[in-house]
Structure 1
Amino acid sequence: MRPLPTLLTLSLAAAFGGFAATAIRDGLEAPAQAAPAAAATVPAIAALPTVVSGQPLPSLAPMLAKVTPAVVSVHTKQRVKVSPFGGDPMFRRMFPELTQERINESLGSGVIVDAQRGYVLTNHHVIEGADEVSVTLADGRTLKAEFLGSDPDTDVALMRITAPNLVALPLANSDALRVGDFVVAVGNPFGIGQTVTSGIVSAVGRTGLRGLGFQNFIQTDASINPGNSGGALVNLNGELVGINTASFNPRGSMAGNIGLGFAIPTSLARNIMGQLIANNGVVIRGTLGLESQAVDARLAQGLGLDEARGALVTQVYSGGGAAAAGLKPGDVIVAANGERIDDPDALRNFEGLQAVGSRVALDVRRDGKVIQLNTSLREQPKSFQGLELDPRLAGAVFAELPERLRQSGYSGVLVESVARGSRAAQNGLQKDDIITAATTGKFDDLSGFRASFTQAPAQLILRVVRGGGRQGNLPMQ
């Protein structure tokens, strides 16, 4: 007979629910009428209780009171010259009086991560090309910011401000984040002022987004709109777990948020910040020193693999970490430090997110067997002088292709600069050309390009992508 009280409670609840539903229905269906005087005796709608079951209602306000002073608005100014003749250099020289200077301004967000030193983290794309940068604190103070360095391929930039009574956010261990954890985004969307949005972690370790460089994003459904870039993503303890960097919308970023926001995890941001401080504003990356290709179904069958995935090693460069580990052409790398490697892009992304000297354990498939090889990442040169490769390239400087371009489908090397009047310039090479192929042999990146010149070809022809994707062959004389 013990279930009777429960049954009675459920019956009363059902009866009350039916009564309430009928009253609501009647209220919705009844036509609007002037309220009689007697209606004044009807009790007013009660305010929300401050306590439920003896516990105060949860609120993010106490946590945010500690967080918001550390989140700043970033203002940038860029001086650009505008000519009625567009970018034509000849006409701009002929009619300099018609060239006018215009100032482009943009807004973003940043996070103070070291109050004593005044370090502020933001996105590279927020301050890219800026001539002046200033930040506005939550208390209204506006301060000039000193640019310390940035890394375009992870979209992290570091600035410094000087002022008393700064507030910094503690950096959490973003590796401990789990899907479903609550997070809060703080920034300056659309320039309307500091704004707070909340949501959950939708995914961690997100990669494969076109045009966004090396990737290991936190995905969240907290609203991240234009202007939020560089702002804070915090956990419920008020600790920084990520730097908001992008929102995804097929209609463009100005269309607003649709619940697909991405943030750079603090584990990565901390590493990049340390390198920018130690290396005078630049990041030095490591490389394994190999070329690889994707594994398709035909290759998988020929190599005795269970599935078509991994990075198939096609070339190993002497003096690199891959050579030291004993990797050979024909090996298939399927994991690195326990991280799944599905294709060459995943391997390149892994390399790009590690510091020089990092130890790497590679899971490799060789002759149908599973082996593990251990090595470390060696320093990756950032550029080469063309003269070091071939006299016909004298005057050109070749650099690693930015990862954002690789994510957009390009491979090869970038022409970083070309000296006026040099042999390379006379041969038609231009700054920002992308070299995708050459008669020297196959290559995918800067180290491969250099290695392909072990024997200078009698005829040197470069395959060049220029401007809006126009391609052509360029003979070097």
Structure 2
Amino acid sequence: MKRFASFLMISVLSGVLTLAGYLLFIDEDNVLVEANTGIPAYTPVKMNSLPTGTNADFTEAANESVNAVVHVKNVATVRRSPFSSSTTQALQGTGSGVIISPDGYIVTNNHVIQNATQLQVTLNNNQNYMAEVIGTDPKSDIALLKIDAEDLHYLPFGNSDNAQIGEWVLAVGNPFNLTSTVTAGIISAKSRDLGMDSNISSFIQTDAAVNPGNSGGALVNINGELIGINTAITSQTGTYVGYAFAVPSNNARKIVEDLIEYGDVQQGILGIRGVQAANLPGEYNIEISEGVYVDQVEAGSGAAKAGIRSGDVITRLDNVKISKFSDLIGYIGSKRPDDVVTVQVIRDGDPKEFDVTLTKYEVYQIKAIGLEVTNASTDELKQRKVTHGVKITRGLTPQMQNEQLYGTIITAIDNIEVRDIKDVEKIMAQRSPGQPISVTFVTPDGEKQKYVWR
């Protein structure tokens, strides 16, 4: 009996020492150290944390978040009547915003502050400030504000690439003018494409309750890190039914820092046109169901210079898996021109890897005719046997999309030669609205045509 008791004590002691050794030597090694993402940190960032278990307490994250989320009131000056010269201040709408630095930078949605003549920001402690608009990016629905204050509570940007489906998140905002509201849910999906004309097209979907007034508010993980800006809901009633969408923090952070440093958004592109591999018809003989099939490679682009070809299937960008086109758009949207991205592809059944330097995306929308154009490369002009012109990138209306004019070169507008998109912008700014507009094209086959829009 004594021998059995001795063995029992030894077994218990061994178990305790083993557990202690595991916690001491193994658990600490389970922390992920994130590699440099290529985005310079002009705003407070936490890029190393991983989601923790579902037993975590939400109170700390909630307390940090409510003090960093503000109420944004959009006030516009309007006339009292069509026959009066007097004006009055009218509340156009309200929303939320997130303080991202101690000196008063605030990120919100562009639609929250659109057309405002005055913006009032109310903190969680009921202090009011007038806000200045630093910059906006309507295509991403992101705006950056600034208030004159110091030592504010703020939320650091987290790494939205690390967010996982099923992870607990909090939505913090001011729905229905109910200030400092916190709701909880999980990440339901990532890289969700809502079919919007947006630079993002890769939203985080959550089932945390989000309602009108939450726009511009914070989506945070249970570590209190900002992983998204709540932007949209899908609902037949206009209120919460379980589907809410947020701009990923990596994209929002990049846009904010572009606005601070450059005054506008610097968008980089790979230089490919593609389609989801799963959507290809059978005659393509592609057995891969996940990835982006490269249909065309832009001449002179980073992808072309790196050696990517039509027929390649992109499966990873850096260490991020690419299952569908919105994955690719979302990741590239967090990068800038001249950033280098490692692109992994499958070519003829074999994996290959290329380092692609992103090029700058410069476009101009000719809304009068429903077309978007960009600068044409020297090689593209030589192929069409022309010396100047801009290239059509896409149609802005269903009619123009059906025309399939991608790659067509516009050499003149109203009989004035165009050499770049600045020429196009200048011509369109000087012409009178409503006048007929003539456009001279050179098709990919080299045929010259002229059309007049009335």
Range of TM-score over shorter length: 0.5 to 0.7
- CA RMSD between the two structures: 4.3
Match of 2:250? 267
Give the gaps of 5 or more residues in structure 2. Answer: 1-54, 367-372, 382-389, 407-420
Q: Secondary structure at the match of 2:250?
A: helix
Q: Secondary structure at the match of 1:227?
A: coil
Match of 2:217? 231
Is residue 2:98 matched to residue 1:111?
yes
The Cα shift of 1:362 comes to 2.5
Is residue 2:308 matched to residue 1:322?
no
Give the gaps of 5 or more residues in structure 1. Answer: 1-56, 84-95, 391-396, 430-434, 442-451, 462-473
**Which among 287, 291, 303 is matched to residue 273 of structure 2?**
291
**Which among 69, 72, 78 is matched to residue 71 of structure 1?**
69
For residues 60-104 of structure 1, the C-alpha deviation after alignment (integer angstroms, 9 at most, x for no partner) is 555534332211100112346799xxxxxxxxxxxx848997845
For residues 138-177 of structure 1, the C-alpha deviation after alignment (integer angstroms, 9 at most, x for no partner) is 1112111011112223322211001245221233333333
Match of 1:458? 448
1-structure distance, mates of 2:61, 2:453? 63
Task: For 1:381, give the aligned amino acid.
Answer: E
Q: Secondary structure at the match of 1:114?
A: coil
The Cα shift of 1:340 comes to 4.8
Task: For 1:210, give the aligned amino acid.
Answer: G
Is residue 2:119 matched to residue 1:133?
yes
**Which among 205, 211, 233 is matched to residue 196 of structure 2?**
211
Q: For 1:188-203, list aligned pairs within 5 A.
A: 188-203=174-189
**Which among 137, 141, 144 is matched to residue 151 of structure 1?**
137
Identity of aligned residues (%): 34
Indicate if the aligned counterparts of 2:98 and 2:217 stay in contact, CA closer than 8 A: yes
The Cα shift of 1:364 comes to 3.1
The Cα shift of 1:290 comes to 3.2
Deviates more, 1:141-150 or 1:157-166: 157-166
Structure 2 CA distance for partners of 1:226 and 1:142, relative to 1, 3 Å:
same
For residues 319-340 of structure 1, the C-alpha deviation after alignment (integer angstroms, 9 at most, x for no partner) is 2102211233344434433545
Task: For 1:422, give the aligned amino acid.
Answer: R
Higher Rg of the two aligned structures: 1
- The normalised TM-score by structure 2 is 0.66
Match of 1:3? none
For residues 340-380 of structure 1, the C-alpha deviation after alignment (integer angstroms, 9 at most, x for no partner) is 55666654454333222222233334445443222111111
Structure 2 CA distance for partners of 1:400 and 1:350, relative to 1, 3 Å:
farther
Structure 2 CA distance for partners of 1:201 and 1:151, relative to 1, 3 Å:
same
Task: For 2:75, give the aligned amino acid.
Answer: K
1-structure distance, mates of 2:256, 2:182? 25
**Which of structure 1's runs of 4+ aligned residues deviate more than 6 A?**
98-102, 384-390, 397-403, 409-418
Match of 2:157? 171
Indicate if the aligned counterparts of 1:143 and 1:161 stay in contact, CA closer than 8 A: yes
2-structure distance, mates of 1:387, 1:358? 20
How many residues are paired up?
A: 362
For residues 284-336 of structure 1, the C-alpha deviation after alignment (integer angstroms, 9 at most, x for no partner) is 1011223345667775544x421466544444333210221123334443443
